[in-house]
Amino acid sequence: MRPAPAEDGTPGGGCEAGRGGASLPRMPLHVSLLYGGLTALLVTILGMNVSRLRGRHGAGLGAPIPPELLRPHRAHGNATEWTPLWLVLLVALEMSGRVSDLWLHLFGGVFFFARVLHAGGLLGRNKASVAGAALTYLVLLAMGARAVLLGLGK
């Protein structure tokens, strides 16, 4: 049996029924949703650009990547390679309840900015891609270190 909806319309007063009918509190994860959503939009735009260029150059699936597509392809591919690890860490840190919103916003905002810099640098053929890569590494190192410390109970 499900609990009655709360005044705000959420089932069970903002809780989900778990195994055996136990209620689990919902975690809003506002910071992860904000920066995860922004990064999803960026990755989608980069992917759409690759698809557009593949169509323009007749480079279908399995065809060699023309030189004109190498940078856009890598801008999209690189973003998709780093985003899952970052997002898992961001959600875990936010769910822990032991990392301040300021730090969560820094981790999210700097990562998103780094990915925009990296993609812009690759597409514009400038050194912004190096700065974006360096910022990505720094954010993930900081997030990973914080996650390890939390895992050790510190």
Domains of the chain and any CATH numbers: 28-151 (1.20.120.550)
Q: Which of 89, 1, 103 is nearest to 39 (CA)?
A: 89
Q: Is the pTM of this model over 0.85?
A: no
Residue 90: the pLDDT is 98
Residue 9: the pLDDT is 52
Residue 24: the pLDDT is 62
| Contact indicator for 46, 75 with CB cutoff of 8 Å | yes
The strand pairing partners of 24, in sequence order, are 16
Task: Work out the burial of residue 127: count CB atoms within 10 Å of its CB; fewer than 13 is exposed, 13-18 middle, 19 or more buried.
Answer: exposed
Amino acid of residue 154: K
Residue 58: the pLDDT is 86
pLDDT digits (tens, 9 = 90+) for 74-120: 999 999 999 999 999 999 999 999 999 999 999 999 999 999 999 99
pLDDT digits (tens, 9 = 90+) for 12-23: 444 444 455 566
Residue 21: the pLDDT is 59
- Residue 26 scores a pLDDT above 80: no
The strand pairing partners of 113, in sequence order, are none
**How many CB atoms neighbour CB 85 within 10 A?**
12
- Give the distance from CA 32 to its chain's centroid: 8
- Give the distance from CA 74 to its chain's centroid: 17
CA distance 114 to 10: 36
CA distance 22 to 20: 6
